[in-house]
């Protein structure tokens, strides 16, 4: 069994000059392909259940799915709650067997975000699992705008919450379909100078590949969340499978044909985050 906590995969990444991908899952087909890709590349992987995934499949079921895949995997697999918004939701994920809780209080006033994140970190650590928090709101392509992370607030947040990883807003945007969201590296350097906590970039699909690779190998950014580009690969594979034979109706047969393309796309993502020469 290679089920791991977030801290167990991020601490070696921070000292080893690489990053770990948090791959956003929507169902069995993609999460299975992600683990296959991680095994092929020989790297750990973080399976992430975000709000849209949880709206489709209950947390206890997702917990079983993640843990089942981890038990058969030859690489470390983290079962991660992405963008948990309440204590109850985070507790439900913990009870469902998740090994990492991401609490998103980034829309809240600083003091409230710190207090609520600290309480969830305490709960997580008491159960022997990890906690990720977010300081500075990361916006959405075509939706809410971002509020960049303040360096002083980041230092205070890291110090007072006890989180194992800290998501920051430095030009990254959720749901971006092209790679135009170049990150503010000066702000990243300022933040990493005032904390020893591994940093996280949400909306990693929008970050140019060269910048993703450089930051993975040469900064405290140890986790990139990748969702949109893999959902696009899944959608393209599904359309191709349906179009090849319009008479088919068995969804299991159709969905099987998404595996190889999604696995290949995930392998390309994972390879970007390896250490230099890896």
The answer as to whether 236 is a domain residue is yes
Look at residue 276 and tell me whether its pLDDT is greater than 80.
Answer: no
Q: What is the pTM of this model?
A: 0.93
Residues 6+ apart with CB under 8 A from 257: 237, 238, 240, 241
- How many Cα atoms sit within 13 Å of 263 on the Cβ side? 17
CATH number at residue 249: 3.20.20.70
Evaluate whether 35 touches 77 at the Cβ level (below 8 Å). Answer: yes
Q: How many percent of the chain have pLDDT more than 90? A: 78
* 192, containing H or E segment: helix 185-192
Instruction: Give 225-237 pLDDT, tens digit per residue.
Output: 999 899 999 999 9
Q: Which one has a higher pLDDT value, 238 or 144?
A: 238
Q: Average pLDDT in the 93-103 region?
A: 98
Q: Which pLDDT tens digit goes with each residue over 4-22? A: 999 999 999 999 999 999 9
What average pLDDT is seen over the chain?
91
Range of 49's domain?
Answer: 3-272
**What is the longest distance spanned by two Cα atoms in the chain?**
60
**d(C-alpha 51, C-alpha 155), whole Å:** 28
39 and 75 Cβ atoms separated by less than 8 Å = yes
Q: Is residue 278 part of a domain?
A: no
Residue 277 within a domain: no
- Nearest CA to 34 out of 54, 52, 48 is that of 48
Residues 101, 130: contact at Cβ < 8 Å? Answer: yes
**201, 196, 188: which is closest to 269 by C-alpha?**
201
Percent of the chain clearing pLDDT 70 (strictly above):
91
Has 82 been annotated as catalytic?
yes
Q: How many domains does the chain have?
A: 1
Considering the candidates 82, 104, 150, 164, report the single residue annotated as catalytic: 82
**pLDDT tens by residue, 165-222:** 999 988 666 545 455 667 888 899 999 999 999 999 988 777 888 988 999 999 999 9
């Amino acid at each position: 069994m290679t089920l791991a906590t977030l801290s167990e995969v991020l601490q070696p990444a921070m000292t080893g000059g690489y990053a770990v991908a948090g791959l956003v899952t929507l169902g069995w087909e993609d999460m299975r392909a992600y683990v296959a890709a991680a095994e092929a590349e020989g790297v750990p992987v973080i399976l992430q259940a975000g709000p849209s995934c949880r709206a489709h499949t209950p947390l206890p079921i997702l917990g079983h799915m993640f843990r089942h895949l981890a038990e058969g995997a030859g690489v470390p697999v983290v079962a991660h709650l992405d963008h948990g918004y309440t204590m109850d939701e985070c507790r439900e994920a913990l009870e469902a067997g998740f090994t990492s809780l991401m609490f998103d209080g980034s829309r809240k006033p600083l003091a409230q975000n710190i207090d609520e994140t600290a309480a969830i970190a305490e709960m997580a650590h008491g159960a022997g699992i990890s906690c990720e928090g977010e300081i500075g709101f990361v916006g959405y392509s075509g939706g809410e705008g971002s509020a960049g992370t303040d360096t002083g607030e980041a230092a205070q947040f890291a110090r007072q919450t006890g989180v194992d990883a800290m998501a920051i807003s430095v030009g990254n945007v959720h749901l971006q379909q092209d790679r135009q969201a170049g990150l503010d590296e000066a702000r990243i350097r300022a933040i990493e100078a005032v904390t020893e906590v591994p940093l996280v970039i949400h909306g990693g699909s929008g970050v140019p590949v060269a910048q993703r690779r450089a930051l993975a190998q040469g900064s405290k950014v140890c986790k990139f969340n990748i969702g949109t580009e893999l959902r696009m690969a899944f959608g393209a594979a599904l359309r191709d499978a349906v179009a090849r034979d319009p008479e088919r109706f068995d969804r299991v047969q159709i969905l099987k044909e998404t595996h190889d393309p999604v696995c290949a796309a995930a392998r390309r993502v994972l390879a970007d985050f390896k250490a230099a020469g890896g």
